[in-house]
C-alpha cells in the first residue's frame, strides 16, 4: 500500500491568474459535458418517435462519446503545444452550429452524423486537465484537476434542464437550440476570464512521435483500464439510467431523469473531494478503495428482480427479491461518489508520473475512458435485447471492476518487490 502523501505545513504558492483560469475552465467544461450528455435525455422522445430498439438507443446515446473520445489524444497534444486557452475556445465554437442543427434532424442517420460533431465538446476534458494543472504546484494539482473535473456534473445538469425544456415547450426541438446558444455564451465568457502562459507549452521542436512515445509505458495502459471503469462507467451509466428507471420502475421521464441525477450529480461534483483525498493519501490507496466499493455495490445491483418457490416440509414458500427504487437510488448514489473519487485519483497518478507530458498522457487515458463510455451503452442495450435482463448492465460493470482489482493487486505487488536505492545500498 502506498504511503500517504501528507501535505507540507506551508502550502506552495499559486501563480497569478491560476484560480480565475480554474473557475472559468470548470464552468466551460460543465457546459461542454452537459452538451456531451444531451442524448441521454433527448434520446427518450427520439426513441419513441423513430421506433428504436435498445441497441439503437444505446448507439444514438453513445455516438457523441465516440468522437469526443477519439479527439482527446490530438487535443491533449495541441494543448501541450499551443496552450489550453485557444484550443478550448476554438473547440467550443466548432460545436455551436451542429448543436443547433439537431433540432432539424428527424432520421437516425442525421442524428448520428450530428452527434459525431457535437461529441467534440467531450474532448474538452483533455484540454482543460493539462491546462489547469500547469497553473498549480504539484502538491495542489490533484485538487485543481478535481475541481475542474467536477464539470462532469454537467451530466446531471442536462437531466434537470432538458426534461424541463421539453415539458415547457411541448417538443424536444427546443433543447438543442437552447444548448447551442448556451455554448456560444460559454465560449465568450471563458475567453474573457481565462489566462494564457507561454511557459506552460512544450517546445515546438518536440515531435508528435516524441510526445506519443510515452504510450510504450505500461503504466499508461494500466491507468487507462482504471479510467475506463470510473469514467467510462460514469458516462455509460449516465446515458443509460434515465431509460433504466423508466423501464424498470415505470417512472415518467421527468422523475426518471431526476432520480438518475442522484448518480450523475455526486459523480461530477465530488470529484474535487477526490482530488483532495488523492493529494493527501496517495493515488494508489484511493483508487484501491474506490474499486472495492464499486465491486460491492455492483454485486448488489446485478441481482435481477426474481420470484422463486422453495418446497419446504410445511409446503411451498414463495419469495420475491427486488431492489426498491429507494434502495436502488441509494446504491447508485454510492457508486457515483466512488466514481467521482476514482476519476480524480487516476489523474493524480498521471500528474505524479508524467509531469512533463501530462497533455499527451491525459489524452490517451481520456481516450480510453471515453471509449468505455461509448461502448458501454451499446453493450448495455445489446445485453438487454439478448437476455431481457435489465440488470445485465450492472453485471458487465461488475466484471470490469474485477479486472481492475486484479490488475491493481499484481501491479502493486510487482512494484513492492522491485528493489529501491535504499535496499540496494543496504545489500
| pLDDT(105) > 60 | yes
| pLDDT(1) > 70 | no
Place 332 in a pLDDT band, splitting at 50, 70 and 90.
very high
Query: What string of H, E and C letters represents the secondary structure of the chain?
Result: CCCCCCCCCCCCCCCCCHHHHHHHHHHHHHHHHHHHCHHHHHHHHHHHHHCCCHHHHHHHHHHHHHHHHHCHHHHHHHHHHHCHHHHHHHHHHHHHHHHHHHHHCCCHHHHHHHHHHHHHHHHHHHHHHHHHHCCCCHHHHHHHHHHHHHHHHHHHHHHHHHHHHHHHHCCCCHHHHHHHHHHHHHHHHHHHHCCCCHHHCCCCCCCHHHHHHHHHCHHHHHHHHHHHHHCHHHHHHHHHHHHHHHHHHCCCHHHHHHHHHHHHHHHHHCHHHHHHHHHHHCHHHHHHHHHHHHHHHHHHHHCCCEEEEEEECCEEEEEEECCCHHHHHHHHHHHHHHHHHHHHHHHHHHHHHCHHHHHHHHHHHHHHHHHHHHHHHHHHHHHHHHHCCCCHHHHHHHHHHHHHHHHHHHHHHHHHHCCCHHHHHHC
Q: What is the pTM of this model?
A: 0.70
Report the percentage of the chain scoring pLDDT > 90. Answer: 30
Place 81 in a pLDDT band, splitting at 50, 70 and 90.
confident
Q: Report which of residues 329 and 365 the model is more confident about.
A: 329
What is residue 420's predicted lDDT score, i.e. its pLDDT?
A: 44
Most confident of 154-158, 218-222, 376-380, 421-425: 376-380
Q: Report which of residues 131 and 267 the model is more confident about.
A: 131
Condensed to tens digits (0 to 9), the pLDDT of residues 393-419 reads 999 999 999 998 998 888 777 666 555
Condensed to tens digits (0 to 9), the pLDDT of residues 154-187 reads 878 888 898 889 988 888 999 999 999 999 999 9
Most confident of 44-48, 231-235, 288-292: 288-292
Mean pLDDT of the chain: 84
- CATH class of the domain defined by 19-201+208-310+320-417: mainly alpha
Place 94 in a pLDDT band, splitting at 50, 70 and 90.
very high
Place 55 in a pLDDT band, splitting at 50, 70 and 90.
confident
Q: Report which of residues 13 and 37 the model is more confident about.
A: 37
Condensed to tens digits (0 to 9), the pLDDT of residues 14-36 reads 666 888 999 999 999 999 989 98
What is residue 204's predicted lDDT score, i.e. its pLDDT?
A: 59
Domain spans, the chain:
19-201+208-310+320-417
Condensed to tens digits (0 to 9), the pLDDT of residues 344-362 reads 888 888 877 776 677 678 7
| pLDDT(423) > 60 | no
Amino acid at each position: 500500500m502506498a504511503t500517504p502523501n501528507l501535505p507540507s505545513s506551508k502550502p506552495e504558492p499559486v501563480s497569478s491568474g491560476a484560480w480565475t483560469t480554474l473557475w472559468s475552465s470548470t464552468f466551460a467544461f460543465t457546459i461542454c459535458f452537459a452538451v456531451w450528455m444531451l442524448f441521454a435525455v433527448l434520446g427518450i422522445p427520439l426513441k419513441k418517435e423513430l421506433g428504436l430498439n435498445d441497441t439503437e438507443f444505446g448507439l444514438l446515446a453513445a455516438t457523441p462519446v465516440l468522437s469526443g473520445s477519439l479527439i482527446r489524444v490530438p487535443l491533449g497534444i495541441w494543448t501541450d503545444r499551443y496552450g489550453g486557452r485557444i484550443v478550448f475556445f476554438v473547440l467550443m465554437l466548432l460545436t455551436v452550429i451542429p448543436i443547433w442543427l439537431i433540432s432539424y434532424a428527424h432520421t437516425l442517420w442525421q442524428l448520428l452524423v450530428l452527434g459525431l460533431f457535437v461529441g467534440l465538446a467531450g474532448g474538452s476534458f483533455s484540454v482543460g486537465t493539462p491546462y489547469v494543472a500547469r497553473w498549480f504546484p504539484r502538491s495542489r494539482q490533484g485538487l485543481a484537476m478535481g475541481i475542474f473535473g467536477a464539470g462532469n456534473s454537467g451530466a446531471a445538469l442536462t437531466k434537470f434542464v432538458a426534461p424541463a425544456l421539453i415539458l415547457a415547450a411541448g417538443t424536444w426541438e427546443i433543447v438543442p437550440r437552447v444548448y447551442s446558444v448556451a455554448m456560444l455564451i460559454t465560449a465568450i465568457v471563458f475567453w474573457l476570464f481565462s489566462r494564457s502562459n507561454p511557459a506552460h507549452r512544450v517546445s515546438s521542436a518536440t515531435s508528435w512521435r516524441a510526445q506519443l512515445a510515452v504510450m510504450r509505458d505500461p503504466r499508461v495502459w494500466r491507468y487507462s483500464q482504471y479510467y475506463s471503469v470510473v469514467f467510462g462507467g460514469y458516462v455509460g451509466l449516465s446515458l443509460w439510467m434515465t431509460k433504466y428507471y423508466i423501464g424498470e420502475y415505470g417512472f415518467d421521464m421527468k422523475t426518471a431523469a431526476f432520480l438518475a441525477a442522484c448518480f450523475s450529480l455526486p459523480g461530477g461534483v465530488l470529484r474535487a473531494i477526490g482530488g483532495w483525498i488523492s493529494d493527501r493519501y496517495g493515488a494508489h490507496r484511493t483508487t484501491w478503495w474506490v474499486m472495492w466499493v464499486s465491486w460491492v455495490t455492483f454485486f448488489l445491483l446485478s441481482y435481477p428482480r426474481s420470484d422463486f418457490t422453495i418446497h419446504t416440509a410445511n409446503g411451498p414458500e414463495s419469495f420475491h427479491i427486488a431492489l426498491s427504487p429507494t434502495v436502488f437510488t441509494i446504491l447508485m448514489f454510492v457508486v457515483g461518489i466512488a466514481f467521482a473519487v476514482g476519476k480524480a485519483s487516476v489523474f493524480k497518478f498521471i500528474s505524479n508520473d508524467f509531469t512533463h507530458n501530462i497533455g499527451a498522457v491525459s489524452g490517451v487515458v481520456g481516450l480510453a475512458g471515453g471509449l468505455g463510455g461509448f461502448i458501454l451503452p451499446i453493450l448495455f442495450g445489446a445485453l438487454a435485447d439478448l437476455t431481457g435482463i435489465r440488470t445485465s448492465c450492472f453485471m458487465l460493470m461488475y466484471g470490469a471492476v474485477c479486472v481492475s482489482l486484479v490488475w491493481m493487486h499484481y501491479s502493486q505487488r510487482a512494484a513492492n518487490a522491485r528493489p529501491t536505492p535504499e535496499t540496494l545500498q543496504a545489500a
